[in-house]
């Protein structure tokens, strides 16, 4: 009798643990994003230029305090290869790896270096820059270079 009681308590406990695990998995799956940025084909980018000649900023609710620009890295390609920003403003640079292999954003002039796995992105705050050209590249594909062109505001 005693062992039957213990056995029934254990069965109830195991059943509760299984249900708890299933509920946790359902909750986790429902809170996980369905699409990542790397899957989006219509993601905003800074390839286009505005009427003022500067690269188009991205509008993302996570980055509201500073002007924000996007650079995407895809298996050795840099999108855009040329980014134009106004002089003497602090801005955010979102770097996203949309390729099938890791990438490393690097700029010696900006003193920035970030390794990005597939589907990852990172945010860099760039201090106000003087007029000029600042190179960046994928250190895993160093023959491809991009540049940030800093122009004076008209």
Residue 93 half-sphere exposure, CB side, CA atoms within 13 Å?
A: 26
Name 36's Cβ contacts closer than 8 Å, sequence gap at least 6. Answer: 119
Q: Supply the pLDDT for residue 10.
A: 62
Backbone Cα Rg of the chain: 24
Q: Supply the pLDDT for residue 104.
A: 92
Q: Supply the pLDDT for residue 48.
A: 62
**Exposed, middle or buried: residue 110 (CB in 10 Å: 0-12, 13-18, 19+)?**
middle
Q: Supply the pLDDT for residue 8.
A: 75
Q: Supply the pLDDT for residue 27.
A: 54
Model pLDDT for residues 51-93, shown as the tens digit of each residue: 556 666 766 666 667 888 899 999 888 888 899 899 999 999 9
Domain 38-151 sits in CATH 2.60.40.150:
no
Please tell me the pTM assigned to this model.
0.62
- Pairwise pLDDT comparison (39 vs 110), residue with the higher score: 110
Q: How far, in Å, CA of 107 to CA of 61, rounded?
A: 26
pLDDT at 36 over 80: no
Model pLDDT for residues 115-134, shown as the tens digit of each residue: 999 999 999 999 999 999 99
Give the start-to-end residue ranges of the domains of the chain. Answer: 1-32, 38-151
Q: Supply the pLDDT for residue 68.
A: 87
Q: Supply the pLDDT for residue 120.
A: 92
- Mean pLDDT over the full length of the chain: 77
Q: Supply the pLDDT for residue 37.
A: 42
Q: Are 122 and 94 in contact (CB under 8 A)?
A: yes
Strand partners for 132: 150
């Amino acid at each position: 009798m005693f062992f039957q009681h213990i056995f029934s308590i254990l069965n109830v406990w195991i059943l509760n643990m299984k249900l708890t695990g299933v509920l946790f998995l359902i909750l986790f799956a429902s809170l996980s994003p369905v699409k990542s940025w790397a899957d989006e084909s219509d993601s905003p980018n800074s390839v286009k230029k505005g009427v003022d000649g500067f690269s188009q900023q991205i509008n993302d609710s996570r980055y509201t305090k500073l002007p924000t620009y996007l650079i995407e890295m895809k298996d050795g390609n840099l999108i855009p290869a040329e980014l134009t920003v106004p002089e003497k403003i602090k801005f955010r640079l979102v770097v996203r790896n949309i390729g099938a292999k890791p990438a490393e954003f690097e700029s010696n002039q900006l003193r920035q270096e970030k390794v990005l796995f597939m589907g990852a992105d990172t945010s860099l705050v760039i201090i106000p820059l003087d007029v000029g050209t600042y190179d960046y590249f994928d250190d895993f594909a160093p023959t491809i270079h991009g540049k940030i062109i800093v122009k004076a505001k008209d």
